Amino acid sequence: MKHVNAKSFKVDLLARVEGEGGFGIKIKDQSVKEVKLNIFEPPRFFEAFLRGRKFSEAPDITARICGICPVAYQMSACHAVEDAFGVHPEGAIRELRRLLYCGEWIESHALHIYMLHAPDFLGYEDVIQMAKDHADTVQRGLRLKKIGNAIMTLLGGREIHPINVRVGGFYRVPTRTQLQTLEEDLKWARDAALETARWVATFTFPDFQRDYEFVALRHPREYALNEGRLVSNKGLDIAISEYEQHFAEEHVQRSNALHSAINERGAYFVGPLARYNLNFEMLSPLAQGAAREAGLKRECRNPFQGILVRAVETVYACDEALRIIADYEMPAKPYLEVTPRVDTGYGCTEAPRGILYHKYRFDERGVILSAKIVPPTAQNLKTIEDDLAAFVSTRLHLPNDRLEWQCEQAIRNYDPCISCATHFLKVRIERE
Partner 1 sequence: MTVPAQSVVFIGVGNPFRSDDGAGRAVLRRLRGAIPSGVKVLEETGDGAELLEAWEGADCVILVDAVQSGAPPGTIHRLDAKLEKLPIWFSHSSTHAFGVAEAIELARTMGELPERLVVYGIEGLDFSAGTELSPEVAEVVPAAANLILQEILHLPAAQPASPF
Contact residues for partner 1 (CB under 8 A)?
13, 15-19, 42, 45-46, 64-65, 67-68, 107, 111, 115-116, 126-128, 131-132, 135, 138-139, 142, 145-146, 149, 153-154, 159-161, 419-424
Closest contact distance (angstroms) between CB of 284 and partner 1 is: 26
Closest contact distance (angstroms) between CB of 115 and partner 1 is: 5
The SS3 of residue 294 is: coil
Q: Between residues 11 and 142, which has the closer beta carbon with respect to partner 1?
A: 142
Q: Between residues 53 and 64, which has the closer beta carbon with respect to partner 1?
A: 64
Closest contact distance (angstroms) between CB of 359 and partner 1 is: 20
Number of H helices, E strands in the chain: 15, 16
Distances from the Cα of 405 to the Cα of 7, 14, 38, 303, 402, angstroms? 18, 9, 17, 16, 5
Q: Which amino acid is at 193?
A: A
Calpha distance 20→42 (Å, rounded): 12
Closest contact distance (angstroms) between CB of 57 and partner 1 is: 14
Q: Between residues 111 and 348, which has the closer beta carbon with respect to partner 1?
A: 111
Calpha distance 344→365 (Å, rounded): 13
Q: Between residues 26 and 134, which has the closer beta carbon with respect to partner 1?
A: 134
Closest CA relative to residue 248, chosen from 379, 155, 363, 358: 379
Q: Between residues 63 and 75, which has the closer beta carbon with respect to partner 1?
A: 63
Long-range contacts, 118-123 (Cβ 8 Å, 24+): 118/200, 118/203, 118/307, 119/16, 120/405, 120/408, 120/409, 120/412, 121/200, 121/203, 121/204, 121/205, 121/307, 121/409, 122/203
| Length in residues, the chain | 432
Closest contact distance (angstroms) between CB of 400 and partner 1 is: 20
Q: Between residues 102 and 127, which has the closer beta carbon with respect to partner 1?
A: 127
Closest contact distance (angstroms) between CB of 136 and partner 1 is: 10
Calpha distance 64→43 (Å, rounded): 11
